[in-house]
């Protein structure tokens, strides 16, 4: 019984620590996604009329940018409600 209780306590502490870790890095994670989104926009901007590096440079980088492209697409979905996203991240109801 005490061993089971100890195990439960350990798990609870682990979850608690992880929640705090997630909270601590939430803002950094948001900033990172923004930076990755900007990076993808800079590379592919030429296709949407934005200033961009010569398209051959974009072509050379594209094979390694799957993560950035996925973020760019998800950011496009969220762009309808940017304030909502920001408020959600700052935990403002």
Q: Point out which span in 3-11, 64-72, 76-84, 85-93 binds another protein (CB under 8 A).
A: 64-72
CB closer to another protein, 57 vs 86: 57
Report the nearest approach of another protein to the CB of residue 6 (Å).
22
Report the nearest approach of another protein to the CB of residue 92 (Å).
22
User: For residues 43, 48, 52 and 56, what is the CA-based torsion angle, rounded to 10 degrees?
Assistant: 70
The tokens describing 91, both together, are 């935990």
Q: Which of 7, 11, 12, 18 binds another protein (CB under 8 A)?
A: 18
- Confirm if 83 and 77 have CB atoms less than 8 A apart: no
Q: Point out which span in 1-9, 63-71, 82-90 binds another protein (CB under 8 A).
A: 63-71
- Confirm if 43 and 61 have CB atoms less than 8 A apart: yes
Footprint on this chain of another protein (rule: CB under 8 A): 18, 21-22, 24-25, 28-29, 31-32, 35-36, 38-39, 42-43, 53-57, 59-69
């Amino acid at each position: 019984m005490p061993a089971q209780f100890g195990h439960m306590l350990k798990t609870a502490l682990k979850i608690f620590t992880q929640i705090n870790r997630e909270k601590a890095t939430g803002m950094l994670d948001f900033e990172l996604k923004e930076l990755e989104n900007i990076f993808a926009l800079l590379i592919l901007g030429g296709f949407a009329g934005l200033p961009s590096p010569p398209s051959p440079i974009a072509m050379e980088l594209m094979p390694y940018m799957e993560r950035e492209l996925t973020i760019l697409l998800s950011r496009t979905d969220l762009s309808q409600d940017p304030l909502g996203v920001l408020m959600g991240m700052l935990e403002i109801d």
